[in-house]
């Protein structure tokens, strides 16, 4: 698969941007999750307003071969509505926390979308034909008088404008007291897990009124609570294995064959702390915001505030690779704590061949790391560099006193422009980057 | 982007070393207090900031549990270190020797104007029961562990002297006291972060805050806790008037003034159920049943609600 950085290697080019250009960003339009489906044909985004927008990859046109296939809107629907919990007198946000696609089994597409409390299974299906020539009703739907019918005919399927319908097929509700942060479809394609701050539940896709609680870290006395679950994922190949990460920077791998309640982990991943860099913020920046298995299932990647770590599942005591995302922020931790940026939850993703990883940063920067060449690159998702097929210029943050031309100093970074959600096409070098309310799609030059 | 110009701003100079015994100041007093970025001042500032953050909750939406837990752990860490340093003890002794409740009174008087008015009108300030004052202490027990010291850390200011009015009591609770007016700028001598936090308190159903504090009173009354409160009392007196934190000011600049109306708040007429910190409490802790001493009907309604919610959440 392709490499990551520029030079003689592949270069990332702007392809498309979706979303409003306004300076005033409506809160509801802020993208909260991005996910390609298994084939990469579809790209789903969820936003704070509870809407899901699905883009479909158009085939390259033979007539205009220079236009690589683009992603165009395929379906838009309101997945979750704001709710009010009357018992607690609290609103339940409609923000879509995660979207996960199911593997395609027939012509329809299925995805799971979740807000803080409720998971929904959506069926997205196409309708491009309709039947005409009914016997008992007219073309405009009026019933025909049966006595007037003198002959029978067989209705014929006629083409119609493509209509994409999204319908909720299952609603998995009332299983989580705390906020759902992750959902993950199991490799058996029949079950999935959902994780909130303190518990993880296992569901069957067909059964909505029951779920199994497989992890519960809620202490008997809530005053003793010092650690929460931050992310969870099913192993891509072994349906009995899943991992969950915590706010203390640890990852636990569990095997559902061992016990019904997986409170005792099979493996415990934690990197020993470096005593020389200990500070009051050490725990906060060690909190893992995302965990992702590699496609091969051999590795997993975790994202904490300043770095991305790749772990070999066979080695628990330290990661095999560590990549610094924005180490220049280490000296700014107090300010970042003050303005709450230190609590931002960045996600990370693998490319299709597991040779590269990507994660976001501030100032609409995002970073890619090539695991083989150990090269890394910083790119920016901005309207300025959004000319069609324009190659993205690598960006650099200057950390020393002297700032070179084209570099940006740490204090000039815009911490309101954060890239928390990114996705990499499962097969091709196409990436989707969510920058607040805009979705950028980049492709490599050689497609 | 970063708040600038505040006197008490942390110097962003990297990690603070844990073992910095030589940086621990001698018994702090008003005179020797300086605005240099000494380790313990920075640590205290971080502690302040953390306590404020714990109070800030979204009005309508459940607070983020992960964030709360992380902040609480940070506070615990600071407090443990302060205890090890002996700083805790020093500050306690300093406070014991200090004779100036007036500082606090001045500040709190200004801050708690509305409550004073209510008191003058002959009503007991609704959410701030004088009964609670006797206990004189409540702790944000929500995210703290069981040990007393920790709770002490989280304890908010409370008057040392019982003759302080409930207005002073207001200054104590909930991290540097509630402020009822947005134009407190001139009074921000001691209330830099308190202002911000206070204004946020406006949104967060302050009387709920206090009511939860009341509950905590009962749960955590002990000599040790008084020590803790004295520590924080010392802190309030100690610190000079840093200029208002512009970031926090901006954050709270559009607080709806109607929230200052206690009646409205209590009767829950506002569309927004302002149960922020209270909810934090409810959702995180399983403290004992409430038993507030106030006879105000509003409070008893809240008590019931507390109780119900606690049962539900606790289950």
| Per-residue tens of pLDDT for chain A, all 447 residues | 444 443 335 689 999 999 988 888 899 999 999 999 999 999 999 999 999 999 999 887 666 555 567 899 999 999 999 999 888 888 899 999 999 999 999 999 999 999 999 999 999 999 999 988 888 888 787 888 888 888 899 999 999 999 999 999 999 999 999 999 999 999 999 999 999 999 999 999 999 999 999 999 999 999 899 999 999 999 999 999 999 999 999 999 999 998 888 888 899 999 999 888 889 999 999 999 999 999 999 999 999 999 999 999 999 999 999 999 999 999 999 999 999 999 999 999 999 999 999 999 999 999 999 999 999 999 999 988 888 888 899 999 988 777 788 889 999 999 999 999 999 999 999 999 999 999 999 998 764
Position A420 in a domain: yes
- The interface residues of chain B toward chain A in range 145-174, judged by CB-CB distance below 8 A, are 145-146
The count of CB pairs under 8 A between chains A and B is 125
Q: A256 CA to chain B: closest CA distance, Å?
A: 26
* Mean pLDDT (whole number) for B258-264: 41
* Overall number of domains in chain A: 1
User: Does residue A218 sit at the B interface (CB-CB below 8 Å)?
Assistant: no
User: Does residue B269 sit at the A interface (CB-CB below 8 Å)?
Assistant: no
Chain A positions touching B18 (Cβ under 8 A) are 278-279
The rounded distance, in Å, linking the Cα atoms of A230 and A283 is 14
Position A7 in a domain: no
Is pLDDT above 50 for B119?
no
Position A5 in a domain: no
Position A403 in a domain: yes
Helical H segments across A256-410, by residue range: 282-286, 333-338
Is pLDDT above 90 for B210?
no
Position A126 in a domain: yes
Element holding A15 (H helix, E strand):
strand A12-18
Q: B274 CA to chain A: closest CA distance, Å?
A: 9
Position A326 in a domain: yes
Q: Do A212 and A255 meet the contact criterion of CB atoms below 8 Å apart?
A: no
Residue B279 and residue A228: Cβ atoms within 8 Å? no
Q: What confidence score (pLDDT) does residue B191 get?
A: 40
Is pLDDT above 60 for B121?
no
- A278: domain CATH number is 2.130.10.10
Position A372 in a domain: yes
B79: buried, middle or exposed (CB in 10 Å: 19+, 13-18, 0-12)?
Answer: buried
Element holding B220 (H helix, E strand):
helix B206-220
Chain A positions touching B141 (Cβ under 8 A) are 223
Residue B74 and residue A224: Cβ atoms within 8 Å? no
pLDDT per residue over B271-299, tens digit each?
Answer: 334 444 444 444 444 443 433 333 445 55
- The interface residues of chain A toward chain B in range 160-179, judged by CB-CB distance below 8 A, are 177-179
Strand arrangement of the beta sheet that strand A12-18 belongs to: A12-18, A438-444, A430-435, A421-424
The rounded distance, in Å, linking the Cα atoms of A42 and A126 is 13
Q: Is B187 helix (H, G, I), strand (E, B) or coil?
A: helix
Chain B positions touching A415 (Cβ under 8 A) are 1
Question: Of the segments B89-103, B134-148, B241-255, which one has the largest average pLDDT value?
Answer: B89-103
pTM above 0.80, yes or no: no
- Out of B62, B67, B146, name the one closest to residue A343 (CB): B67
- Pairing assessment for the beta strands A119-132 and A156-172 based on DSSP bridges: antiparallel
Please give the residue range of the domain that contains residue A77: 12-147+154-444
Position A6 in a domain: no
Q: What confidence score (pLDDT) does residue B61 get?
A: 65
Q: What confidence score (pLDDT) does residue A433 get?
A: 97
Q: What confidence score (pLDDT) does residue A137 get?
A: 86
């Amino acid at each position: 698969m392709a490499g990551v950085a520029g030079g003689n290697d592949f270069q990332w080019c702007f392809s498309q941007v979706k979303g409003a250009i306004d300076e005033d960003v409506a809160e509801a339009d802020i993208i909260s999750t991005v996910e390609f489906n298994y084939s990469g044909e579809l790209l789903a985004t969820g936003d704070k307003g509870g809407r899901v927008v699905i883009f479909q990859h158009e085939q390259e046109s033979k007539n205009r071969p220079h236009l690589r296939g683009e992603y165009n809107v395929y379906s838009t629907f309101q997945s979750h509505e704001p709710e009010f919990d009357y018992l607690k007198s609290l609103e339940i946000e409609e923000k879509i926390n995660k979207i996960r696609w199911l593997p395609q089994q027939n012509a329809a597409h299925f995805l799971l979308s979740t807000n803080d409390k409720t998971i929904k299974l959506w069926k997205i299906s196409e309708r491009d034909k309709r039947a005409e020539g009914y016997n008992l009703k007219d073309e405009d739907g009026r019933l025909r008088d049966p006595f007037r019918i003198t002959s029978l005919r067989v209705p014929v399927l006629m083409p119609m404008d493509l209509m994409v319908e999204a319908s909720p097929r299952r609603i998995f509700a009332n299983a989580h007291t705390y906020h759902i942060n992750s959902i993950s479809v199991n490799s058996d394609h029949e079950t999935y897990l959902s994780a909130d701050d303190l518990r993880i539940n296992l569901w069957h896709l067909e059964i909505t009124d029951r779920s199994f609680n497989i992890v519960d870290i809620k202490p008997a006395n809530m005053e003793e609570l010092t650690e929460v679950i931050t992310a969870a994922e099913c192993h891509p190949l072994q349906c009995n294995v899943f991992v969950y990460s915590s706010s203390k920077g640890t990852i636990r791998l569990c095997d559902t064959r061992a016990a019904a309640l997986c409170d005792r982990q099979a493996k415990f991943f934690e990197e020993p702390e470096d005593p020389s860099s200990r500070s009051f913020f050490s725990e906060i920046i060690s909190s893992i915001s995302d965990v992702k298995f590699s496609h091969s299932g051999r590795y997993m990647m975790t994202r904490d505030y300043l770095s991305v770590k790749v772990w070999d599942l066979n080695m628990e005591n330290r990661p095999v690779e560590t990549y610094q995302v924005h180490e220049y922020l280490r000296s700014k931790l107090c300010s970042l704590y003050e303005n709450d940026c230190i609590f931002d939850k960045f996600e990370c993703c693998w490319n299709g061949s597991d040779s590269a990883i990507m994660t976001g940063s501030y100032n609409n920067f995002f970073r890619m790391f090539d695991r083989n060449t150990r090269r890394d690159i910083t790119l920016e998702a901005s309207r300025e560099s959004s000319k069609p097929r324009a190659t993205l210029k690598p960006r650099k943050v200057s950390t020393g006193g002297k700032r070179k031309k084209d570099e940006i100093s740490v204090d000039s970074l815009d911490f309101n422009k954060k890239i928390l959600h990114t996705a990499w096409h499962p097969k091709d070098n196409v990436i989707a980057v969510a920058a607040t309310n805009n979705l950028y799609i980049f492709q490599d030059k050689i497609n | 982007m970063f708040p600038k110009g505040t006197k008490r701003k942390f110097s962003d100079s990297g990690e603070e070393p844990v073992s910095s015994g030589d940086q621990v100041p001698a018994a702090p007093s008003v005179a020797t207090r300086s605005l240099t970025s000494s380790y313990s001042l920075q640590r205290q500032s971080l502690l302040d900031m953390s306590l404020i953050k714990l109070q800030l909750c979204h009005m309508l939406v459940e607070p983020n549990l992960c964030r709360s837990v992380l902040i609480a752990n940070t506070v615990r860490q600071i407090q443990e270190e302060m205890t090890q340093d002996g700083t805790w003890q020093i500050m306690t002794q300093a406070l014991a020797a200090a004779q100036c409740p007036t500082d606090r009174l001045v500040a709190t008087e200004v801050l708690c104007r509305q409550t004073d008015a209510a008191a003058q009108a002959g009503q007991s300030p609704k959410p701030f029961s004088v009964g609670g004052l006797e206990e004189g202490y409540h702790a944000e027990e929500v995210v703290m562990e069981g040990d007393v010291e920790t709770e002490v850390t989280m304890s908010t200011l409370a008057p040392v002297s019982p003759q302080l009015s409930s207005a002073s009591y207001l200054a104590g609770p909930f991290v540097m006291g509630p402020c009822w007016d947005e134009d407190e700028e001139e009074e921000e001598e001691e209330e830099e972060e308190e202002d911000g936090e206070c204004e946020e308190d406006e949104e967060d159903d302050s009387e709920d805050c206090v009511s939860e504090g009341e509950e905590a009173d009962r749960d955590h009354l002990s000599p040790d806790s008084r020590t803790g409160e004295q520590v924080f009392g010392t802190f309030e007196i100690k610190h000079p008037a840093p200029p208002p934190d512009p970031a926090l000011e901006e954050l709270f600049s559009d607080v709806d003034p109607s929230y200052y109306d206690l009646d409205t708040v209590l009767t829950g007429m506002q569309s927004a159920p302002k149960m922020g910190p209270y909810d934090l409490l409810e959702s995180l802790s399983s403290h004992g049943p409430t038993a507030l001493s106030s006879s105000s009907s509003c409070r008893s309604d809240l008590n019931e609600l507390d109780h119900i919610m606690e049962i539900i959440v606790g289950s």
